[in-house]
Amino acid sequence: MKKVFAGWLSVVLVLSVFVPSMTANETGVSATEATTTLEVSRSVFSLTETRTVELSADLGEGVNLEDVEFQFGGKPLSEWRKWTQGQTYNGDPFITVIEEPAFVEGTNEITAVLEFGLLYGTDNLSNRTIRTQYQQFIGDYELALIDSASGEKAAATVELNVYDEFKFYDELKPAIDDIFEAAEQDADNDRYLEYQTVGKTVEGRDIHFVILARDEAAVDQYLNDTLPTALEDPQSLIEKLENDTMGDYQVPIWFNNIHPDEVEGVDVQVELLEKFALEDEVEFLNTDGDTEFSESLNVDAVLDDAIFLYMFTSNPDGRVANTRANAEGFDLNRDNAYQTQVETQQVNEVLSKWTPLSFIDFHGYVNGFLIEPGTPPHNPNFEYDLLIDNMMDQAHAMGNAGIANSKLTSYFIAKEGYGSGWDDMTPAYTAIYAMLHGALGHTIEVPGLGQDGYRALLGSGLGATKFVHDNKDQLYKEQLEIFKRGVDGEDNRAVDEYFVNAAGESIGRIRGDNENFFPDYYVIPADDKNQKNALEAYNMVEYLLRNGVKVEKTVNPVEVDGATYPKGTFIVPMDQAKRGLANAMLYKGDNVSDWDAMYDPIVVNFSDLRGFDLEEVRTAGLFDGKTQAIEEVVIPTSTVQGNPPKQILENSTNDAIRVVNALLADGKTVEVLTENKGKAEAGDFVVATNDLRPYADDYYFETQVFGNGKNVATEVLKQPSVAATGSAQLNFSLRQLGFRLTDAAAADVIVSDGSAFNAAQVTGKSYIGIGAPALRAVQNSGVLPGFAFRSTGGSHEGLVKANVAEHPLTAGYEQQENLYVTSGSWISSVPEGADVLASFQDSEDFYIAGWWPGYGQAQGQTMAFTADRADTTYTLFANSLAFRAHTEHSYRFLANSIYNAVSVEAEVVEKGNGKGKKN
């Protein structure tokens, strides 16, 4: 059921003193009981379409028309006033009487006509201020005709909606169930419908997913036969298509929504499901650009070609909250590559399982009806020449059907409509991530939130379906050719003309001295001798498997050219169908800084940003017969050897930080080494063995037997109280590490990646500032004389080579690290007496990848420093420590800085063996 409006009275009254009392009574309940039914010519009204309604009722004899009044939601129409600005509703009435009450001649029946106008004065509610408010008005209302003299009332329950098909999250599953029930009750309907819960959101809501196919056998054949063959032996299917011996097969069409406040994309899928699940013929309008005409899809014929997959929204929490972001504050349409959020992890695992041919992601709202493909630069891991022509044709098919079924008069394709700035370089976006699976991946943006945007998206979904139905063999052959290039290890030069620089010149894939853009293998060591962060190595392998990438491991040591790869080393063979996806996550990246605009950061590079060792191998067949495929990976548990009084807990993984915070929360003592001792290094932690042992099965960490220590200086940690200001992602990252968050007044440490800075508020505390907004705020405050920073642009980003100083705040890092900057900034001057923590390398090749026009100005400049002023410690980073929770390799800079603020000097321990045996 729609919300009943009475519950929103208190909310509306809080919005503004100018907001009228707008309440809906519970159905059939009012101060005056209705004695008759109000007949209405329509019962559904829209916030985005003006509609009139004819009313009629018999209120009995002796009614004086001057005493007849109207109420909506228990209030006079005069109290329902239009929005004016902000959260204020004091404009003209949005419900008006256009035909006054009158008697039908010779009867007591009274008639009248009302007009429900546009509450917001527009049929497009995409304005962000409006988007946060309009849903409070959706619900069931009592519309009443009242004789004020006698109290007689005629009433009807009507609905007010943003557009007719809008559903709140709680209404989605009942709507799906109704479709399933209708299909089951139709004796002639033998189509296959399957509902799945893909997983749970942050707040525990179900992620709804529906499969619609001709029959269950079609699903089984695709998942168990057609797709495995396509990924392992695509050439065999290509030959069948060429010889017309392919026989019966289906390909998946995936409909998607990831921004649930772009609401039509959710509801359109319900109608698309209903049409293809229940109807025999689906009729819609279409156009060839000149002439409009009717189309008809025979559903049984369509289901002979396609399996429909409906991901109604991968962000149910956002649907409930009416937000773009999930409950953690992450835009999931920026997380498809990183997959830091449970929703993208679960949804993309299903996407990888299905590997759809066509992927349609419904969005809004931009200026115009926009459909991808995107502008250059294009991600070089696409087999772009095999995608682009079909994607352009499908985009036109969707655009034509979209405008034919709505009042929109035109559409444009980003690749043709923009010169740059709507690129498909980043795989963070949903549809672009799908392209790495070989899908025709389209983002569709309608220009307005309302009934017409809904109709345009519905038309585009039908147009996309017809395109696949009409061209299935050709489209599938092209997808198989993508897989074949991967399986064959072919770097086909046909792609090169599409990879261009900002001047429009073809530069192709950047191969350097290599013949093939793709290596033969990626090697991910798993042993602690060859791997600096085994935890992240295992996490990477788990990621690859979850995303449909084949991974193997060596069954025995492999020696090549003096190098030994131990047993259990992870091997990613690149002669596989989804090599493009694997490479997009593992390669260093590209420098596209010559472009004048980019839509989003492009550096993915898990190895550098998550902080594990990775090696490219360019020797074909090197590991043939020396590995075994793995289907799952389990992160090993930790080992706490022996029973000495104390252990060294190495500051080498983020799990070590989590364990330290868990120990502190449990009241245990944790010390930090302040000097190197044997194999132990300053910045490692000292923990009682019996305190540490209970955590060994739940966290991955590395230890050394320490005894009681001997002549070793340490500092004792207290549990830090941390305040996070700025992005939700920073807040999430700190909680990921196990820090206890509080407000600024109660905090020991204030961490910020935002522009808010209060010098008085940080007095007596430690302040950690990250990125250009925080650096600018500190600089403008004047609290640090001698400090200055510069920035080329707040969205400029890059992976760079950095020199890291030896310092307690850089414990656990190497002298040379590849670090990430996402606000185009560097520190141009440090205060007197400050300790420099890291610097951009002073070398011509310091910049590795990203989009940073003017990055050369940062060469050799300071990246981070710490300085004490009065009783406040300021630690400032130009590099990114918590960007979208993907820069996990930089998390320990953050943790070290926090611990430094709450550590106190301990007595030097005189006893113990201090040998530091590594476990």
pLDDT score recorded for residue 33: 54
pLDDT score recorded for residue 903: 85
252 & 117 share domain: no
Identify whether 236 is part of a domain. Answer: yes
The strand order across the sheet containing 412-413 reads: 192-200, 206-213, 306-311, 251-256, 358-364, 440-446, 370-371, 412-413
CA distance 682 to 680: 7
Indicate which CATH number applies to the domain containing 20. Answer: 2.60.40.10
| Mean predicted confidence (pLDDT) in 473-482 | 98
For 297-352, how does the pLDDT look when each residue is reduced to its tens digit (9 = 90+)? Answer: 999 999 999 999 999 999 999 999 999 999 999 999 999 999 999 999 999 999 99
Residues 6+ apart with CB under 8 A from 382: 424, 435, 436, 495, 580
CA distance 116 to 94: 6
Provide the residue range defining the domain that includes 526: 521-630
Among 116, 141, 161, the domain boundary falls at 161
| Mean predicted confidence (pLDDT) in 264-276 | 98
CA distance 467 to 357: 12
Q: Which two tokens stand for residue 897?
A: 């800085």
- The answer to whether residues 840 and 846 touch, using CB atoms and an 8 Å cutoff, is yes
CA distances (Å), origin 103, targets 53, 55, 146, 147, 302: 17, 12, 14, 13, 54
Identify whether 712 is part of a domain. Answer: no
844 & 894 share domain: yes
pLDDT score recorded for residue 905: 61
625 & 658 share domain: no
Among 116, 142, 161, the domain boundary falls at 161
CA distance 742 to 767: 14
437 & 463 share domain: yes
CA dihedral (621, 624, 628, 629) in degrees, to 10, reads 40
85 & 20 share domain: yes
pLDDT score recorded for residue 914: 34
> Which comes out higher in pLDDT, residue 2 or 311?
311
CA distance 665 to 525: 34
CA distance 535 to 526: 9
- The answer to whether residues 187 and 313 touch, using CB atoms and an 8 Å cutoff, is no
Identify whether 460 is part of a domain. Answer: yes
- The answer to whether residues 571 and 521 touch, using CB atoms and an 8 Å cutoff, is yes
816 & 881 share domain: yes
Number of other residues whose CB lies within 10 A of the CB of residue 908: 13
pLDDT of 27 strictly over 80: no
CA distance 55 to 142: 13
595 & 703 share domain: no
CA distances (Å), origin 752, targets 31, 767, 776, 827, 876: 53, 8, 12, 17, 10
What does the radius of gyration of the chain's CA atoms come to, in whole angstroms?
Answer: 32
Q: Which two tokens stand for residue 745?
A: 């007044």
pLDDT score recorded for residue 679: 83
Exposure class string for 126-158: b at 16+ Cβ within 10 A, else e: bbeebbebbbbbbbbbbbbbbbeeeebbbbbbb
380 & 478 share domain: yes
Identify whether 728 is part of a domain. Answer: yes
| Mean predicted confidence (pLDDT) in 440-449 | 98
194 & 279 share domain: yes
pLDDT score recorded for residue 26: 38
59 & 15 share domain: yes
pLDDT of 776 strictly over 70: yes
pLDDT of 88 strictly over 80: yes
| Mean predicted confidence (pLDDT) in 598-624 | 96
**What phi and psi values does residue 340 have, to the nearest 5 degrees?**
-85, -15
Work out the percent of the chain whose per-residue pLDDT is above 90: 91
pLDDT of 34 strictly over 90: no
Instruction: Give me the number of domains the chain comprises.
Output: 5
pLDDT score recorded for residue 363: 98
Identify whether 124 is part of a domain. Answer: yes
Q: For residue 678, name the pLDDT band (cuts at 50, 70, 90).
A: confident
> Using CB atoms within 10 A of its CB, is residue 632 exposed (0-12), middle (13-18) or buried (19+)?
exposed
Indicate which CATH number applies to the domain containing 853. Answer: 3.40.50.880
CA distances (Å), origin 815, targets 217, 674, 675, 702, 841: 58, 18, 17, 21, 11
pLDDT score recorded for residue 12: 37
> Can you give the pTM of this predicted structure?
0.94
Among 142, 161, 180, the domain boundary falls at 161
Choose among 143, 155, 69, 63: nearest CA to 103.
63
141 & 261 share domain: no
CA distances (Å), origin 738, targets 384, 731, 732, 891: 43, 11, 10, 12
Number of other residues whose CB lies within 10 A of the CB of residue 293: 9
CA dihedral (728, 729, 735, 740) in degrees, to 10, reads -50
CA distance 798 to 879: 9
pLDDT score recorded for residue 67: 96
- The answer to whether residues 259 and 363 touch, using CB atoms and an 8 Å cutoff, is yes
CA distance 478 to 484: 10
| Mean predicted confidence (pLDDT) in 434-450 | 98
| Mean predicted confidence (pLDDT) in 854-874 | 96
In 665-811, DSSP assigns E strands to: 670-673, 685-688, 703-707, 714-717, 721-725, 740-741, 749-752, 766-770, 788-791, 797-804
pLDDT score recorded for residue 70: 98
Average pLDDT, the chain: 93
Choose among 904, 611, 891, 889: nearest CA to 751.
891
Identify whether 765 is part of a domain. Answer: yes
Q: Looking at 380-384, 429-433, 564-568, 708-712, which range is the least confident one? A: 708-712
374 & 248 share domain: yes
CA distance 272 to 283: 12
Identify whether 639 is part of a domain. Answer: no
pLDDT score recorded for residue 908: 41
For 815-826, how does the pLDDT look when each residue is reduced to its tens digit (9 = 90+)? Answer: 999 999 999 999
Identify whether 169 is part of a domain. Answer: no
pLDDT of 906 strictly over 60: no
| Mean predicted confidence (pLDDT) in 874-880 | 97
β-bridge partners, 648: 686, 704
Indicate which CATH number applies to the domain containing 442. Answer: 3.40.630.10
